[in-house]
Amino acid sequence: MGKCGVSSAYGQALAEAAGVCLDDQEHPNPVSLALQGDATSSRDVIWPSIDDQMRRTWNDDEVATEYGAMAVALLLAVKVLGYRIIERMKKGRGFDYVLAPETADANDRSQRAWLEVSGIRKGGDSTIRTRLRQKLKQTSKQTTSGRAYIIIVEFGRPIAQISA
């Protein structure tokens, strides 16, 4: 995730968290991630080999799921949606990241987009729909110009719900 608002060390930590979540669900590496919502296809996801130290590091399922979902969502923002990551938002702003089109000037605020990410370790379609409704309500209160995206990553099957 070089040349963006995410350091390589942070990106590696996020990838490790995603790997722990996918490994916990006993998925093969790589695994096909189904995309649904505003993007319908699939993408192969590859993660680092997971060892016991990584499992102990990411032993808190809620934290591992949150950070693992960020890894997958940021990759999808870049590879599927065509954005680059500008910066992480401060808590309480309604979104997690600021994005800009790959071809745009990073300083051009008029072309910015917003990304909210949520992770589910294992859940069905109704869990994903419920989470999407919560995130739509949360982000609708924000006064931002530009496009807003919500990406929900469910590690059980795995699925990524992309909504604009």
> pLDDT (tens digit, 9 = 90+) per residue, 82-91?
999 999 999 8
The predicted-structure confidence for 2-22, as pLDDT tens digits, reads as follows 457 899 999 999 999 999 999
Rounded-to-integer distance, Cα 22 and Cα 19, Å: 5
pLDDT band at 144 (very low <50, low <70, confident <90, very high): confident
Q: Are the beta carbons of 38 and 89 closer than 8 angstroms?
A: no
The dihedral through the CA atoms of 9, 68, 162, 117 has a sign that is negative
Report residue 108 CA to chain centroid gap.
23
Phi-psi region of 117 (alpha: psi -120 to 50; beta: other; left: phi over 0): beta
Does residue 3 fall inside a structural domain? no
Predicted confidence (pLDDT) at residue 143 exceeds the cutoff of 80: no
Does residue 132 fall inside a structural domain? yes
SS3 call for 62: helix
Does residue 81 fall inside a structural domain? yes
- Is the entire prediction scored with pTM above 0.75? yes
Q: Which residue range is the domain that position 53 belongs to?
A: 8-163
Does residue 90 fall inside a structural domain? yes
Count of domains forming the chain: 1
Does residue 2 fall inside a structural domain? no
pLDDT at 35: 98
Does residue 107 fall inside a structural domain? yes
Contacting residues for 67 by C-beta, under 8 A, at least 6 apart: 13, 14, 17, 18, 58, 119
